[in-house]
Amino acid sequence: MTASAVPQDLDQTGPNGDHHIARVDAVHHGELAGAAQLAEIGWALHANGFHGGIAQPINLLQIMSAEGLDRRAEALLRLKFLVDVTLELFAPADTTPAAGSERLAPGAVLLRAFAAPQAVALLQDLQEVTARSPLRCMTTRGGHRMSVAMSNCGTTGWVSDSTGYRYDAIDPLTAACWPAMPARFRELAAAAAEAAGFRGFLPDACLISRYEPGARLSLHQDKDESDLDSPIVSISLGLPAVFLFGGHHRAERPRRLPLAHGDVVVWGGPSRLRFHGVSPLGDGEHPLLGRCRVNLSLRKAR
Ligand code: MD3
Ligand code: FE
């Protein structure tokens, strides 16, 4: 990468598909809005609150303060490098577009890497959401503390406490409404649903789940939503997990399905009420998220 290539790179949509577009897009935000946005992207890359990631915000803040805004091109170059290196670590060099789709069962479709090109932008959005409604481990009806930390965005959110599960417009932690659902979440979910054959999916709730090594989700059904005709769209980011895809009875042995960064699964139709869960997360280090996996599950709850 050469310094002179930077401004052009920033303004162009390159030839190599979605992956490149994502890079340009991520940097473009910074170019448009200057220092504050650059720092924000740094935070998104670092994914503050998700622990680790190689692009530490301190790097960007140092760049900004040491070199000042007159050195913005230089700062952007270095930011672009961070983004490139980060993405390259998990994206195979040439590919991403039109990630293949795989039908898992009637109504259940796996879209490999469907969200990968937008991962950085999704994490930026997520950062804003969790700044207002932080991730927290909820309590189950049985009084157990969940190993997965959760939050929500949208007009309603899934909550669990010792009295049981429900959807609620109010975050019990902040006593305020859940943050609005970022348009990008809604649009990506609608596009994934459409790709899986579900037209006009309009989610009103997004459950955000953070898994750290050892965290797991035992087999369960999602049936608190009043609209069971709509699918649930699930976006996986960060460390890979083994998803347990069961049947219509708890006793049925689940199929083990590895889900990686950027994978999107649409669960609808006859698969909507299947039992499912997540095996204990294995340890590892993801370039964007560090030692964790984040799942966004978009629902029509009302
Ligand atoms: C499969 N989360 O939060 S994605 C959950 O990967 C949850 O974090 C999992 O299950 C995760 O409730 C799975 C969402 C999901 C939702 C509904 C389903 C998967 C589903 C319904 C049927 C089959
Ligand atoms: Fe679930």
Q: Which helix (H) or strand (E) holds 277?
A: strand 276-278
Q: Report pLDDT for 26.
A: 39
Q: Give the atom of ligand 1 at the shortest distance from the alpha carbon of 243.
A: 6
Report the chain's mean pLDDT, rounded to a whole number. Answer: 79
Residues forming beta bridges with residue 247, ordered by sequence position: none
Q: Which pLDDT tens digit goes with each residue over 194-212?
A: 999 999 999 999 999 999 9
63-70 mean pLDDT:
45
**Nearest ligand (C-alpha, residue 292):** 1
Please give the Cα distance from 286 to 187 (Å, whole number). 25
pLDDT at 254 over 70: yes
Tokens (6 digits) for 10? 């920033």
Query: Cα of 57 to ligand 1 centre, how many Å?
Result: 31
pLDDT at 158 over 70: yes
Query: Cα of 149 to ligand 1 centre, how many Å?
Result: 14
Contact assessment for residue 86 and residue 287, using Cβ atoms and an 8 Å cutoff: yes
108-122 mean pLDDT:
98
262-271 mean pLDDT:
97
CATH fold of 101-299 reads: Jelly Rolls (2.60.120)
**Nearest ligand (C-alpha, residue 146):** 1
Backbone angles phi, psi at 104, to 5 degrees: -85, -35
Mutate to test the pocket of ligand 1, among 114, 257, 297, 299 (most ligand atoms within 8 A of CB): 297
pLDDT at 47 over 60: no
Distances (CA, A) of 158 to 60, 85, 190, 224: 35, 36, 20, 9
Q: Calculate the CA 252 to chain-centre distance.
A: 29
Backbone angles phi, psi at 71, to 5 degrees: -105, 30
Q: Which pLDDT tens digit goes with each residue over 234-253?
A: 999 999 999 999 999 999 99
Mutate to test the pocket of ligand 1, among 210, 220, 232 (most ligand atoms within 8 A of CB): 232
Per DSSP, the residues of 190-247 read HHHHHHTT-TT----EEEEEEE-TT--EEEE-----S--SS-EEEEEEES-EEEEE--
Model confidence pTM above 0.75: no
Query: Cα of 23 to ligand 1 centre, how many Å?
Result: 29
pLDDT at 121 over 60: yes
Q: Report pLDDT for 20.
A: 30
Query: Cα of 278 to ligand 2 centre, how many Å?
Result: 9
For CATH 2.60.120.590, the residue range(s) in the chain are: 101-299
Residues with CB under 6 A from ligand 1: 207, 209, 217, 222, 232, 234, 243, 267, 271-272, 274, 276, 278, 295, 297
Q: Report pLDDT for 100.
A: 80
Q: Residue 152 corresponds to which amino acid?
A: N
